[in-house]
Amino acid sequence: MTREEKLAAFDPNGIGAAQAQIFGLPFNYPESRVVLLPVPWDATASYRPGSANGPEAIRQASPQLDLFDPDYPLSWQEGFFMLQVSGEWAQRNRKTRPLVAEYIRMLENGAPEDPALLKRVNDETEALRKWVFERTAETLHEGKIPGVIGGDHSTPLGAMQAVLARHPQMSILQVDAHADLRVAYEGFQHSHASIMYNALQAGVTGLVQVGLRDVCLAEKELINQDARVRAFFQHELDARRFAGGTWADCCRDAVAALSQEVWISFDIDGLDPSLCPNTGTPVPGGLSFAEASFLLGEVVRSGRRIVGFDLNEVAPAPNGEDEWDANVGARMLYRLCSLACLSQRS
Q: What are the residues binding Mn ion (CB under 5 A)?
A: 153, 176, 178, 180, 267
B/e letters for 94-132, b = 16+ CB within 10 Å, e = fewer, are eebbebbeebeeeeeeeeeeeeeebeebbebbeebbebb
Closest among 85, 144, 66 to 335, alpha carbons compared: 66
Residue 140 vs 149, nearer CB to Mn ion: 149
In the complex, minimum distance from the CB of residue 102 to Mn ion, in angstroms, rounded to a whole number: 24
User: What backbone phi and psi angles, to 5 degrees, belong to 131?
Assistant: -65, -45
CB of 140 to Mn ion, least distance (A): 24
Q: 50 vs 79, which CB is nearer to Mn ion?
A: 50
Closer by beta carbon to Mn ion, 42 or else 176: 176
Least distance to Mn ion from the beta carbon of 337, Å?
20
CB of 234 to Mn ion, least distance (A): 14
Output the smallest distance, CB 192 to Mn ion, in A.
6
Q: For Mn ion, give the closer residue by CB, 129 or 178.
A: 178
- Indicate the residue among 124 and 267 with the shorter CB distance to Mn ion: 267
**Nearest approach, Cβ of 190 to Mn ion (angstroms)?**
13
Kindly report the backbone phi and psi dihedral angles of residue 195, in degrees, each rounded to the nearest multiple of 5, phi listed first: -60, -40
Phi, psi values for residue 149, rounded to 5°:
-110, 110
Encode the chain in three state secondary structure: CCHHHHHHHCCCCCCCCCCCCHHHCCCCCCCCCEEEEEECCCCCCCCCCCHHHHHHHHHHHHHHCCCCCCCCCCHHHHCEEECCCCHHHHHHHHHHHHHHHHHHHHHHCCCCCCHHHHHHHHHHHHHHHHHHHHHHHHHHHCCCEEEEEECCCCCCHHHHHHHHHHCCCCEEEEECCECCCCCCHHHCCCCHHHHHHHHHHHCCCEEEEEEECECCHHHHHHHHHCCCEEEEEHHHHHHHHHCCCCHHHHHHHHHHCCCCEEEEEEEHHHECHHHCCCCCCCCCCCECHHHHHHHHHHHHHCCCEEEEEEEECCCCCCCCCCCHHHHHHHHHHHHHHHHHHHHCCC
Closer to Mn ion at the Cβ: 78 or 272?
A: 272
Q: Which is nearer to Mn ion, 40 or 156 (CB)?
A: 156
Rounded to the nearest whole angstrom, what is the least distance from the CB of residue 280 to Mn ion in the complex? 9
Work out the number of other CB atoms within 10 angstroms of the CB of residue 346: 6
Supply the minimum distance, in Å, between the C-beta of residue 116 and Mn ion. 29
With respect to Mn ion, which residue has the nearer C-beta, 154 or 161? 154
Q: How far is the CB of 26 from Mn ion (least distance, A)?
A: 33
